[in-house]
């Protein structure tokens, strides 16, 4: 026995051959070992060791000189997969290529056969082949192992599955709303579909100059799986010494406005929000306890984290309610909630520091901060609703993360027009950078 063969057998024993023994005992030896003309083992040390342990007096073998190009590639890949210095990405590519070549050679080849061929557990090979489908996905760009990449893609798969289910439910709900009871001449009743709605060829709008209080009760379209709310806080920040530079704000910030908008959200939640969805809800800590209690009573399907997301204003701009008795408030808080234990896309820090941005709106949240937090919620399946979108910063942040659709409502005409301009400029620049991106 040559040095290569002995080394291969030692490696086979060290890696364990119990599962391979069970497979050969049940199904027989599917793949012969490979030797050269001097009877040195080229590939199949684990199979040889397993057959010896099972007491087989002989084993099927083939000479490498007799193999065609594809079969030699298979053997080379089998050997590469066993290398200890192989990166996890290279191992994924090798196992995927090996599996594909075997499938070309034999229609009945399965993932379990590949697992037996390379000496890996069936579950491991299943994970590897799933990762291979999206190996260049940006969400696993920084993964340190195949298992970590698989877990990241598993969350994406789950969100895609939930999005499909939600779409099916929406379609069924739409069909039911199109049916109505009619009476026949004989006095019996039956369901009849209403006249079809006119079709629209143009894509849905991303911004509407609309009042959420009027729009929400009338909405009957597909539901949203991510809602970003930045209602007026109900603290009258634009009055007296608190207002500062924001006295030109053209919207009311009374407590009545805040609670009215919150009531509208909760009342219409079931036909606005998908059964599997996330919510970001900006609020003032002055209303923290009351806000959580209101949601618990009026929207019990939402499960909130008690710890808020925090934006700290790096330029120290904030509300100074009483300069003689209180510090300046230079942070804002956001509640995070989920429906049906919806998984996040990725985990990020629950605070972010960024300067204020009042170019388009006195209460704009900076895009970098929104993008940081929205990484947890937004991917290619996201349908975002922002009921009071102001400058549209949340829409732009979500689109930068490849959201499938965004929709923002803005009551004030001037703010709405500014948001339209900002969104158009953002999309133009994004398209330009996409077209002129350097190849990897």
Query: Could you tell me if 243 and 107 lie in one domain?
Result: no
Q: Are 343 and 158 in contact (CB under 8 A)?
A: yes
| CB distance 240 to 319 below 8 Å | no
Given 112, 132, 147, the domain boundary residue is: 147
Looking at the DSSP bridge assignments, the partners of residue 319 are: 329
Residues 140 and 232 occupy one common structural domain: no
User: Within a domain: residue 22?
Assistant: yes
In this structure, are 12 and 128 located in the same domain?
A: yes
Residues 212, 140 share a domain: no
Token pair, residue 187, equals 């006095």
- pLDDT value at residue 244: 47
Domain finish residue from 123, 147, 171: 147
User: Do 277 and 417 share a structural domain?
Assistant: yes
> CA 197 → CA 45, 193, 194, 204, distances in Å?
67, 11, 9, 15
Say if CB 395 and CB 386 are below 8 A apart.
yes
- At residue 379, the 3 state secondary structure works out as coil
Supply 330's token pair.
């230079």
- CB neighbour class for 306 (10 Å; exposed up to 12, middle 13-18, buried from 19): exposed
Same domain, 55 and 124: yes
Structure tokens at 203: 């894509």
Residue 285 resides in a domain: yes
| DSSP secondary structure, 10-29, as one string | HHHHHH--HHHHHHHHHH--
pLDDT of 354: 95
Structural domains of the chain, count: 2
pLDDT given for residue 169 in this prediction: 58
Instruction: Based on the fold, state whether residues 128 and 259 are members of the same structural domain.
Output: no
Q: CB under 8 Å to 369, separation ≥6 — which residues?
A: 311, 352, 354
- For the domain that residue 223 is a member of, what is the CATH number? 3.40.50.150
Do 111 and 209 belong to one domain?
Answer: no
pLDDT in tens, the chain (440 residues): 444 444 444 444 444 567 778 888 888 887 788 888 888 888 788 788 889 989 999 898 988 888 777 777 777 777 667 666 778 998 898 889 888 888 888 888 899 888 887 778 888 889 999 999 989 888 788 889 999 888 888 877 777 666 666 665 555 555 555 555 555 666 666 556 555 555 544 668 999 999 999 999 999 999 999 999 999 998 876 664 444 444 455 678 899 999 999 999 999 999 999 999 999 999 999 999 999 999 999 999 999 999 999 999 998 887 766 667 778 889 999 999 999 888 898 899 999 999 998 887 777 899 999 999 999 999 999 999 999 999 999 999 999 999 999 999 999 999 999 999 999 999 999 888 877 765 54
Residue 186: what are its φ and ψ, rounded to 5°? -85, 5
Boundaries of domain holding 12: 3-147
| Whether residues 139 and 211 fall in one domain | no
Is 58 among the domain residues?
yes
3-state secondary structure of 58: coil
Residues 210 and 103 in one domain: no
Q: What is the DSSP letter of 140?
A: G
Residue 343 domain flag = yes
**375 part of a folded domain:** yes
- pLDDT of amino acid 165: 61
Residues 244, 330 share a domain: yes
Same domain, 126 and 207: no
Q: Does residue 349 belong to any structural domain of this protein?
A: yes
Length of the chain: 440
- Is the residue at 184 inside a domain? no
Residue 360: name the closest of 317, 400, 407, 416 by CA: 416
How far is residue 361 CA from its own chain's centroid? Answer: 30
From CA 278, how far away is CA 345, in angstroms rounded? 11
The residue among 147, 166, 193 that closes a domain is 147
Kindly state whether residue 172 falls inside one of the protein's structural domains: no
């Amino acid at each position: 026995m040559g040095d290569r063969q002995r080394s291969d057998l030692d490696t086979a024993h060290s890696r364990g051959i119990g599962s391979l023994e069970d497979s050969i005992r049940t199904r027989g030896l599917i793949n012969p070992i490979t030797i050269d003309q001097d009877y040195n083992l080229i590939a199949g040390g684990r199979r040889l060791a397993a057959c010896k342990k099972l007491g087989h007096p002989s084993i099927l073998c083939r000479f490498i000189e007799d193999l065609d190009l594809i079969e030699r590639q298979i053997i080379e890949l089998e050997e590469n997969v066993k290398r200890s210095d192989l990166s996890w990405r290279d191992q994924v590519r090798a196992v995927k290529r090996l599996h594909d070549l075997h499938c070309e050679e034999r229609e009945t080849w399965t993932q379990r056969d590949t697992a037996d061929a390379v000496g890996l557990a069936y579950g491991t090979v299943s994970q590897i082949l799933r990762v291979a489908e999206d190996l260049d996905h940006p969400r696993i760009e920084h993964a340190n192992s195949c298992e970590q990449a698989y877990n990241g893609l598993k969350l994406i798969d789950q969100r895609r599955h939930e999005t499909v289910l939600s779409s099916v439910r929406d379609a069924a709900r739409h069909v039911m709303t199109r049916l109505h009871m009619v009476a026949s001449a004989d006095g019996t009743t039956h369901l009849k579909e209403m006249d079809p709605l006119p079709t629209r060829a143009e894509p849905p709008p991303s911004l509407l100059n609309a009042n959420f209080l009027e729009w929400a009760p009338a909405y009957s379209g597909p539901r949203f799986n991510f809602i970003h709310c930045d209602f007026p806080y109900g603290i009258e920040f634009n009055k007296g010494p608190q207002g500062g530079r924001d006295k030109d704000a053209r919207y009311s910030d009374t407590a009545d406005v805040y609670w009215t908008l919150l009531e509208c959200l909760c009342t219409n939640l079931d036909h606005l929000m998908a059964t599997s969805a996330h919510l970001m809800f900006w609020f003032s800590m002055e209303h923290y306890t009351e806000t959580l209690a209101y949601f618990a009573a009026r929207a019990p399907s939402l499960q909130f984290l008690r710890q808020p997301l925090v934006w700290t204003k790096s330029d120290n701009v904030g509300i100074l309610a009483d300069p003689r008795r209180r510090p300046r408030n230079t942070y804002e808080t956001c509640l995070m909630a989920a429906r049906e234990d919806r998984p996040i896309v990725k985990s990020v820090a629950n605070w972010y520091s960024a300067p204020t941005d009042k170019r388009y709106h006195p209460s704009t949240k900076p895009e970098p901060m929104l993008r940081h937090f929205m990484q947890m919620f937004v991917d290619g399946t996201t349908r975002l609703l922002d009921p009071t979108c102001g400058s549209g910063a949340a829409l732009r942040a979500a689109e930068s993360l490849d959201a499938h659709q965004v929709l923002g409502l803005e009551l004030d005409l001037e703010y709405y027009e500014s948001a339209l301009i900002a969104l158009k400029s953002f999309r133009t620049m994004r398209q330009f950078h996409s077209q002129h991106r350097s190849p990897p």
